[in-house]
Structure 1
Amino acid sequence: MTINDKAPVYVMGYFRSGPAQTHKSENLHFAYSRDGLHWTALNNNQPVFISNLGEGILRDPFIAKGPDGYFHMVFTIRPKGKSIGYARSRDLIHWEDERMLEVMNGVENVQNCWAPEFTYDAKDESYLIYWASSIGDDLSNSKHFSVRTRDWKSFTPAQEFFNPGFQTIDASLIEWNGKSYMAVKDESQVYDASRKRPSHNILAVADQLDGPYEIIEGISTPDYTEGPEFLQLKDGKILLIYDYWAYGKFGVMETDDMENWRELRPDEFEFPFQARHCTFFEITEEEFSPILHRYGLEARYPTPTFSKVRLAEEDYQGFLHDPFYSKTISMWIRANSIHGTQVLFQEGNDENGLTLRLQDKHIQAVVCSGGKKAHISSPVIEAQQRYHVSVVFQKGTFYLFLDSERVAEVHADFRYVERHCSPAGFGGRFEKDGFGDSDGEALFDGVIQGVKIFNIALDDKDIKLIK
């Protein structure tokens, strides 16, 4: 893994399934994080890329950016055999050159090629691709193999990469302090009843990328885990993230010296619902902005408006009626008058919903669920001044931003806003609003522009990014 000092955004790629691989969505999904521990699913946790290879199965994605400027992705495909999946992208939105790479070409009796990954070797100016294959009559003889390529078209012959003498899959590499470290799943108990410990991940080390790797005794993840992945954070800490696939959850260990590891408590991290076997990589703010708008933006209304705009009629379905845990409303405003009550945005009412308004030089907002309310306010509005206003609800915390600065926050007694059927829009009141007011339209006297509605809760850096 190569760390880019200008890359403050971590991206996670994954496929989805429930416990023990139920309810599968074997396609590429994305989430992002600012701290590497708390992850927000993008695209409503729906696929961002669907494979056309073989049976259309994409599992165990691994993505990293090469020196050619492309994000290269390798992944497990079906049917099983000698090949892995491959695609590349300039922007992580549009993917091209999707094809099978027959990495075990020339090898007989290959059952599978699982969980491929790669590392760019700057010394050799080539990519080292590695994966697990079982050679023989079944899946009980898994070892790790590798090839090298400079152009993703021609490959060296496959050779054995790691064979500790027992069954392993799911290898992941990180280069640190002049050495190469490998996290890998020990699943010997699956095929060897004499080995009593359930599947878990172990750590190995080598002086060079090609190995040979030697197991570091005494370091392992908990039982019933697989799919280990490294993520090096900007503060120098290294995370080892692993998958309790049978239970549908993740675990995390951290270190700053690759020797002393601490297992994090479940309340110290959060991963998307049903995420499985992840890849982690860093991108810049410039690279992230179009991804955020493509996969986090529910609706955008860029045209300047001087009157009330209705976005939704009374209904029980639709993104302005649906329940939500997280939401962001963003807009530019310039008020001619700063007196009285002027509604800027409304969805729902004082039972369930969200309202943003200008009230006598104050920007105010309220979010409601089941009749409970959380209010927030900032007294900084002046007439004829242009302001960027954002309000964010994030699982019980309500934030107000003015010109990309967080000016107020409050904690609600609820984490979830229930379904709401009232009309919705901006520039005025449509029915009783979230404050409980219903006297007149409360029209905004001024111009509203660049209204954006996100289905995720943006943080301080994200708000600056969308301004």
Structure 2
Amino acid sequence: MRDPCIIRGADNRFHMVWTVSWKDRGIGYASSPDLIHWSEQQYLPVMEKEPTAQNCWAPEITYDAKNKQYMIYWATTIPGRFPATDTTGDGNNNHRIYYVTTKNFTTYSDTKLLYDDGFNVIDATIQPDGKRFVMFLKDETKKPVPQKNLHIATSNTLTGGYSKASPAITGNYWAEGPTAIKINDTWIVYFDKYRDHQYGAVTSTDLEHWTDVSDKLHMPKGTRHGTVFTITAKELTELQ
């Protein structure tokens, strides 16, 4: 169980997805009313119709209030599908972002491509922002020039039409696993500085100009790629 993503759904339940292994063609799913008592874990074979798919990494969930459905999305490498960048990643990895939709976590749509901007991409996470959606993503390019940094893309619809990636919003270090929240007028994007074995954060009020506030973070030792989300004071008390 790696890269957990948790959101509070429209049904007031917490829904979680996660990476189940390095090389499976599916992801994990479970739900909870209180973050304490959880449903039975399910395996969702989201890439079963792609027999050469090498993996399903870092799934996330975003709720589409307009269409009253959830979108689950993740990164997968399918050898030869995007040949121009087949040699740019770690080993044979050449990821793009794929998705399914569901209204009830019982039946799911067919899997479709969500994001391809011509480079190796993983760790997408999407937040609504008024009438648009903001995707935070990692450029996973390693060769010939390493990127390993975070960017944003925007769309007026959750399931497609995302813009080209912005300039990098993170600095001269390798970053992954972004998770974002907007508090008042300020966006905070938390991420894993995984080669430095520490967490980082950047903030912005306009999604264009970013300030690194990593030195203000105090995180539990060993914290890795996860999710930030809001809960009530009562829910916190129950957890404590």
Above 0.5 in TM-score? yes
Equivalent of 1:81, from 17, 24, 36?
A: 24
3-state DSSP of counterpart to 2:234: helix
| CA distance in structure 1 between the aligned counterparts of 2:103 and 2:219, rounded to whole angstroms | 34
Q: Which residue of 1 aligns with 2:230?
A: 282
Q: Is 1:82–1:105's contact at 8 Å kept on the other side of the alignment? A: yes
- Aligned in 2, Cα 1:92/1:217: closer, same or farther, shift over 3 Å? closer
- Aligned in 2, Cα 1:250/1:107: closer, same or farther, shift over 3 Å? same
Shift of 1:272: 0.9
- Aligned in 2, Cα 1:284/1:229: closer, same or farther, shift over 3 Å? same
2:101 corresponds to 1:148: yes
Equivalent of 2:78, from 135, 139, 150?
A: 135
Residue identity opposite 1:126 in structure 2: Q
Residue identity opposite 2:212 in structure 1: E
| CA distance in structure 1 between the aligned counterparts of 2:166 and 2:31, rounded to whole angstroms | 37
Equivalent of 1:218, from 136, 142, 167?
A: 167
Shift of 1:265: 4.7
Higher strand share: 1
Q: Which residue of 2 aligns with 1:181?
A: 134
Equivalent of 2:121, from 168, 190, 198?
A: 168
Residue identity opposite 1:269 in structure 2: L
Shift of 1:205: 1.2
Equivalent of 1:238, from 176, 183, 187?
A: 187
Normalising by structure 2, we get a TM-score of 0.90
Q: Which residue of 2 aligns with 1:203?
A: 152
| CA distance in structure 2 between the aligned counterparts of 1:264 and 1:79, rounded to whole angstroms | 31
Percent of paired sites with the same residue: 33
3-state DSSP of counterpart to 1:172: strand
After superposition, the C-alpha distances for 1:333-380 in whole angstroms (9 at most, x for unaligned) are xxxxxxxxxxxxxxxxxxxxxxxxxxxxxxxxxxxxxxxxxxxxxxxx
3-state DSSP of counterpart to 1:188: coil
| CA distance in structure 2 between the aligned counterparts of 1:177 and 1:123, rounded to whole angstroms | 12
Segments ≥4 residues shifted beyond 3 Å:
none
Q: Is 2:22–2:57's contact at 8 Å kept on the other side of the alignment? A: no
Shift of 1:71: 0.5
2:76 corresponds to 1:123: no
2:208 corresponds to 1:259: yes
Shift of 1:139: 4.3
Which structure 1 residue ranges, 5 or more long, are not aligned? Answer: 1-57, 293-467
2:39 corresponds to 1:96: yes
Q: Is 1:105–1:158's contact at 8 Å kept on the other side of the alignment? A: no
Shift of 1:203: 1.2
Shift of 1:211: 2.2
Normalising by structure 1, we get a TM-score of 0.47
Q: Is 1:227–1:243's contact at 8 Å kept on the other side of the alignment? A: yes
| CA distance in structure 2 between the aligned counterparts of 1:94 and 1:151, rounded to whole angstroms | 19
Shift of 1:232: 1.6
Aligned length: 229
Q: Which residue of 2 aligns with 1:445?
A: none
Q: Is 1:111–1:139's contact at 8 Å kept on the other side of the alignment? A: no
| CA distance in structure 1 between the aligned counterparts of 2:210 and 2:39, rounded to whole angstroms | 39
Q: Which residue of 2 aligns with 1:108?
A: 51
| CA distance in structure 1 between the aligned counterparts of 2:101 and 2:41, rounded to whole angstroms | 19
Which structure 2 residue ranges, 5 or more long, are not aligned? Answer: 81-90
Shift of 1:264: 1.3
| CA distance in structure 1 between the aligned counterparts of 2:166 and 2:19, rounded to whole angstroms | 29
- Aligned in 2, Cα 1:123/1:262: closer, same or farther, shift over 3 Å? same
| CA distance in structure 2 between the aligned counterparts of 1:107 and 1:84, rounded to whole angstroms | 14
Q: Which residue of 2 aligns with 1:65?
A: 8
Q: Is 2:133–2:158's contact at 8 Å kept on the other side of the alignment? A: yes
After superposition, the C-alpha distances for 1:151-201 in whole angstroms (9 at most, x for unaligned) are 111111100000111111000111113221111110112xxx32x133111
3-state DSSP of counterpart to 1:173: strand
After superposition, the C-alpha distances for 1:295-324 in whole angstroms (9 at most, x for unaligned) are xxxxxxxxxxxxxxxxxxxxxxxxxxxxxx
